[in-house]
A and B are shown apart, each in its own frame.
Chain A
C-alpha cells in the first residue's frame, strides 16, 4: 500500500472523522504535544547543563538522569500519542508533507540515541562522554523541533 492510499484510507476512518468534527481535540492535542516537547527538550538541555556544571552546584549527572526518567517516559508517550492524533486528523494533508516525513524518519534514531545515552549516563559509564552525548542529544531534538515547526510551511 502506498502512503497516498494509506492516507486516503486513514482519512475515511471513524477516528479521523471524529477528530475533524471536534473543535476542541486538535488544540488540546497540540497543547499536550507542545508540553511534551517542552519536557523532552528541557530535559535534554538540563542534562547538558548539569554535565557542564552550569545547573546546580556539583549535581551528579547520573543521579539527575535517574530523577528525570519517569517524567521523560510520560512525555515521550504523550508526544507520540498526540502526534499520531494530529496526523490522523488530516492524513491526506500531513502524510505527503516532506517536513513531517523527515521528522518521523528522524524520530526513531533520535529517541533510540537519547534512551541509549541516558542509560549509559545513568550508570555513570566512564566511556559515556557526558558532555558530548548530552550535547548531541539536545542538538538532535532541536532539529526535530525545527522540522515540526516547518510542517506548516513545507
Chain B
C-alpha cells in the first residue's frame, strides 16, 4: 500500500499538480461545481420521492430528466477528486475524514445500485406520490442522509490534513 501511494505521487498527473500552483485551486473549483450538480439533483430526486416537494412534477419523468445531469456531475466530481487525491496520496490515505468520505460514497453508491436494481424499470411509471413504493422512500431518505454525510466528511478533510 505504501509503495503504491509513493508510486502514485510520482505519476505524471501528480507531478503536474506539484509544479502548477494554479492547478490545485482550479481543480477544487471544478470539484465544488461538479459536487453541486450531484447534490442539487440528488436532493431534488430524494425530496420528490419522499413527497416533500415538487408535487406538481410526476416523479418518474423528473428522475429520468435529471439522471444524465447527476451522472455527469458525479463523473466530474470523481475525476477532479482523483486528481486532488494525487496531489498528496500518502496524506489523504491516512486522513480519517477522507477515509470516511470514501466509505460513505460506497454506501451511497450501493444504495443507488440497489434502488436502480429494484425500481429501475418501474420508476418511469411513477406519477403521483402515492405510486412511489415505501421501500423507495426509505432509500430516498437514506440517500439524503448519506450525501449530507459525504459533504460534511469532505469539508472536514482539510481540518485533519497533515503535510
**Once A and B bind, how many residue pairs between them come within 8 Å at the CB atom?**
82
State whether B156 touches A27 (Cβ < 8 A): yes
How many residues of chain B are within 8 Å of chain A by beta carbon?
A: 31
Q: Which residues of A contact B61 (CB under 8 A)?
A: 56-57
The B contact surface, by secondary structure, is helix
Taking CB atoms and an 8 Å cut-off, the chain B residues in 114-163 that contact chain A are 148, 151-152, 155-156, 159
How many residues of chain A are within 8 Å of chain B by beta carbon?
A: 31
A27 to B152, CA, bound (A): 8
State whether A49 touches B33 (Cβ < 8 A): no
A153 to B25, CA, bound (A): 8
A142 to B31, CA, bound (A): 12
Minimum distance in angstroms from B39 CB to a CB of chain A: 4
Minimum distance in angstroms from B131 CB to a CB of chain A: 19
A31 to B54, CA, bound (A): 24
Interface residues of B (CB under 8 A from A): 25, 28-29, 32-33, 35-41, 43, 53-54, 56-57, 61-62, 64-66, 68-69, 73, 148, 151-152, 155-156, 159
Q: What residue in chain A is nearest B39 (Cβ atoms)?
A: A38
State whether A56 touches B53 (Cβ < 8 A): no
Q: What residue in chain B is nearest A39 (Cβ atoms)?
A: B40
**A41 interface residue (CB < 8 Å to B):** yes
Given A45-B37, A149-B32: A35 touches B25 (CB 8 Å cut-off): no
State whether A41 touches B33 (Cβ < 8 A): yes
**A145 interface residue (CB < 8 Å to B):** yes
